[in-house]
A and B are shown apart, each in its own frame.
Chain A
Amino acid sequence: MKVLMKGNEAIAEAAVRAGCRAFFGYPITPQNEIPEYFSRRMPEVGGVFVQAESEVSAINMVYGAAGSGARVMTSSSSPGISLKQEGISYICAAELPCVIVNMVRGGPGLGGILPAQSDYFQAVKGGGHGDYRMLVYGPSTVQEAVDIMYEAFDKADKYRIPVMILGDGVLGQIMEAIELPEMVDIQTIPKKEWATDGTGVGESRRVINTLKIKPEVLEEVNNRLADKYKSLSKHEVRYEQYRTEDAEIIFVAYGTVARISKSAVDTLRDKGIKAGLFRPITLYPFPSDPLLSLSKLRSSKKFLAIELSMGQMVEDVRLAVNGNKPVDFFGKVGGIIITPDDIVNYVIKEK
């Protein structure tokens, strides 16, 4: 039988089942159920839970644990994620795997505690310094968040990069009926030959360092990272299309807003308006090619990016559509959630 779980708790349990045995964090609404859950769960599985003295400290604990080869994660919400940016940049430079959850709340500044999608730029363009990217997912339902979290540690290990789960207050607080995946046997997780776990000695000693004073050395790192990101674009792009085959107006939305938009698609179809939804699941790499293909269809007349922000993802939509069709934007901010009727009314008004 399925279990009823809150998004935050389900994500934490999925991480444990994926073999995560170390969590470092600092409290902030609306993701507090994640550390709360780990504080109870980690001791049961022989893992580590530390409530650090700050977000800066927490992300650097993640840096250290990742360097030693552990499956490690942290979670926070917008202002806390801002504090972690320096650490994230270092982790990217050191090519270490970890998972970071951001249950986004409205900003800038301390902002509010209600749901928002205003950290899209920070997540996909790099909130810290330097030429780096993360693999960023924008799950729409609790089940999808669980499934993505379960895979996230494998992806992080494979590419040796941080993976970010970009949720929002709704995803964290909602309860849904879900199926949890099997517990991974942590003995079966491949050994990390690069980890500074004390096994490399003498000539084969392992070093983790992000200071590359010689330009040729730093250039090599930058090139290697760029190759990884190319590889992500080739292998990791994920998206969903809903009733787009003959759609005249195509919504582009991710996360919670995408599922709200899905209801609006059905309502509009009932009213005789051919609407469809394109839902990016990976926000970086962004699914540009399938969007470009949609924009070349004779049936598609217009795209509408819908976000809980003043318009961030819409820029990537415009780049992908490349002028083939008009791209409009509809958004709400401040923690106010878009309802299906808001979208329906907007479309009818603009028609």
Chain B
Amino acid sequence: MDKSIIIAGFGGQGILSLGQMIAYGAIHSNKEVSWLPSYGPEMRGGTSNCSVVISEKPIASPVISSPDCLIAMNKPSMTKFLYSVKKGGLVLVNQSIINDEVARDDVDVIYVDTSNIAEEAGNLKTANIVMLGVLVGKTNIFTKESIENVIGEVFATKPKVIPCNITAFNMGYEIGVKNR
């Protein structure tokens, strides 16, 4: 079964790297994966998004018309992509900077206060990893252990930040599990 995810937010929020972590998770789970960034003339503070498709079979279109899941890290992203999400799909909302309620009742929504959780985990920059935790906890697309391994590999050159990322991931994971 294909799983398509759009991750969107401000440049600098770790949007592209969150997508890459999901892609690494897919490889660890022996699945096919494509990661497609928006690559306009973008910069920190501008908008940024990427599309990730995970499948058991070789991936046909890496371009997503209607995603199974939207991770909205800021308000413009929510406005842009909310109505493209599949009926019955999943929307993860970064409640720390998006005050609005999701104006659809045919999708599953989880509001996550990523900034506060990330700070609690020990580093504000782990807000994107909190969302990764929520996604994995909710959908079970990968095992918890496989993502912990990915975090270890991605941050291999910066071992100091591994523990706070693992904590942030686990805190998000619990929220995901609670919302199953």
Q: Which of A's residues lie within 8 Å of B, judged by CB?
A: 1-4, 29-30, 113-114, 141, 169-170, 173-177, 256, 259-260, 262-264, 266, 337-342
For A173, give the chain B residue with the smallest CB separation.
B39
Which of A2, A29, A175 has the most CB atoms of chain B within a 10 A radius of its CB? A175
Query: Does B58 reach chain A (CB closer than 8 Å)?
Result: yes
Size band of the interface chain B makes with A: 20 to 34
Interface residues of B in 17-33 (CB under 8 A from A): 20, 23-24, 26-27, 31-33
Interface-lining segment among B63-71, B89-97, B126-134: B63-71
What are 15 of the A-B contact pairs (CB < 8 Å)? A2-B27, A4-B20, A29-B39, A173-B39, A174-B34, A175-B34, A176-B32, A176-B35, A177-B31, A177-B33, A259-B62, A262-B60, A339-B64, A340-B65, A341-B66
Interface centre among B23, B27, B41 (most CB of A within 10 A): B27
**Chain B residue with minimal CB distance to A265?**
B60
What string of 1s and 0s marks CB contacts (under 8 Å) between B70-107 and chain A? 00000000000000000000000000000000000000
Choose one: B27, B40, B60; the contact of A266 (CB below 8 Å): B60
Residue contact B40 to A114, C-beta cutoff 8 Å:
yes
B114 to chain A, nearest CB (A): 24
State A94–B31 Cα separation when bound (angstroms).
46
Give which listed residue, B20, B39, B58, B61, contacts A30 with CB less than 8 A.
B39
- Whether the pair A175, B65 counts as a contact (CB closer than 8 A) is no
Q: Indicate whether B141 reaches chain A with its CB closer than 8 angstroms.
A: no
CB distance from B176 to the nearest CB of A (A): 23
Closest to B24 in A: A4
Of residues B20, B26, B59, B65, which shows the largest number of chain A Cβ atoms within 10 Å of its Cβ? B65
Measured in the bound complex, the distance between the Cα atoms of B60 and A337 in whole Å is: 15
Contact B58–A141 (Cβ < 8 Å): yes
User: Mask for B1-45, Cβ within 8 A of A = 1, else 0?
Assistant: 000000000000000000010011011000111111101110000
Identify the interface centre among A174, A264, A338: most chain B CB within 10 Å of its CB.
A174
With most chain B CB atoms within 10 A of its CB, the pick from A173, A177, A259, A262 is: A177
**Bound-complex Cα distance A259 to B32 (A):** 14
* A169 engages B27 (CB within 8 Å): no
Known contacts A1-B27, A4-B20, A4-B35: A174-B40 contact under CB 8 Å? no
Shortest distance in angstroms between A264's beta carbon and chain B's nearest beta carbon? 8
A177 to B53, CA, bound (A): 11
- Out of B33, B41, B61, B65, name the residue touching A176 (CB < 8 Å): B33
A201 CB, nearest partner CB in chain B, Å: 52
Let me know if B65 and A339 touch, CB within 8 A: yes
In the complex where A2-B27, A259-B60 touch, is A113 in contact with B34 (Cβ < 8 A)? Answer: no
Q: Are B65 and A173 in contact (CB under 8 A)?
A: no
A84 CB to closest chain B CB, in angstroms?
Answer: 23
B151 CB, min distance to chain A CBs, angstroms:
15
Contacts of A262 in B (CB 8 A): 60-61
Are B27 and A259 in contact, CB atoms less than 8 angstroms apart?
Answer: no
Is the pair A263, B39 in contact by a Cβ cutoff of 8 Å?
no
In the bound complex, residues from chain A placing their C-beta under 8 Å from that of B27 are 1-4, 177
Q: Which residues of A contact B20 (CB under 8 A)?
A: 4, 175
- Which residues of the other chain, B, contact A173 by a CB distance below 8 angstroms? 36-37, 39
Residue of A nearest to B50 (CB): A175
Tell me the complex Cα distance, A170–B58, Å.
Answer: 17
Chain A residues contacting B24 (CB-CB under 8 Å) are: 4
| Cα(A141)–Cα(B61), bound, Å | 10
B60 A170 Cβ-Cβ under 8 A:
no
State how many angstroms separate the Cβ of B85 from the closest Cβ of chain A: 13
B33 pairs with A339, CB closer than 8 A: no
Chain A minimum-CB-distance residue to B51:
A174
